[in-house]
Homo-oligomer: A and B are copies of this chain.
Amino acid sequence: MTRSEEKREAFVEAVVAHLVSEGLADTGLRSLARVCGTSDRMLIYHFGSKDALLEQAFGAIVAGLTAQLDALLGPRRRAPARLLEDLLAAVDRGPFLPVVRLWFELVGRAVTGEEPYRASARALGERWLAWIEAHLPRDRADRAPELFATLEGTLMLRLLDLPEPERPHA
């Protein structure tokens, strides 16, 4: 790997960390350059445009997410209700809340069709759905969208400090 590629990779990593911790608000080229320890000039040089950089960063987040989920919950398949319970518990305990917040910010931009947000949100959603499907019993894989919907809706309520559905304690 060339020096350039190494640098690009490091830049993307720094941007990912910044996005996860700060959200989409502070994503000016000059801010991103600061967290990368370089200049806006150089970010354009390496990535061509701000959107291309963000797209790569979102891609890296997508790739990292399933890895994190796998590490936390293992490959075991389980019934829908139990899987939902485990996922919500994981969000409670793990470092997932900032990513969930970022996810909702991303969806908020994606619904207008704005790129690169829409494409990134769809990619993230698809991977998430696939992960859920892979962790449901094979004969109930078709319930993945339903579980996804319940999970996302519950997270929305949580993020807005509105009352959550009552769940049977595990």
* A156:B122 contact, CB within 8 angstroms: no
A139 interface residue (CB < 8 Å to B): no
The stretch of A5-13, A42-50, A69-77, A143-151 that contacts the partner chain? A143-151
Task: Verify if A107 is at the interface (C-beta below 8 Å from B).
Answer: yes
Main SS of the interface on chain A? helix
A39 to B108, CA, bound (A): 29
User: Is A116 part of the binding interface, using a Cβ–Cβ cutoff of 8 Å?
Assistant: no
Q: Are A157 and B149 in contact (CB under 8 A)?
A: yes
* Other-chain contact of A108, B107, B129, B151, B152 (Cβ < 8 Å): B107
Interface size class of A (residues with CB under 8 A): 35 or more
Complex CA–CA separation, A114 to B121 (angstroms): 21
CB-defined contacts of A157 to chain B, threshold 8 Å = 125, 145, 148-149
User: Considering only CB atoms, which chain B residue lies closest to A101 in the complex?
Assistant: B111
Mask: chain A, 139-167; 1 = CB below 8 Å from B; 0 = not: 00011011011111110110111111110
Contacts of A108 in B (CB 8 A): 104-109
Given contacts A107-B107, A145-B157, 5 further A-B contacts (CB under 8 A): A25-B112, A107-B159, A146-B165, A148-B153, A153-B153
21 A-B contact pairs sorted by A residue (CB < 8 Å): A25-B114, A105-B108, A105-B112, A107-B107, A110-B160, A111-B160, A122-B161, A122-B162, A125-B157, A129-B162, A129-B163, A142-B166, A145-B157, A145-B166, A149-B150, A149-B154, A149-B157, A150-B153, A152-B152, A153-B153, A153-B156
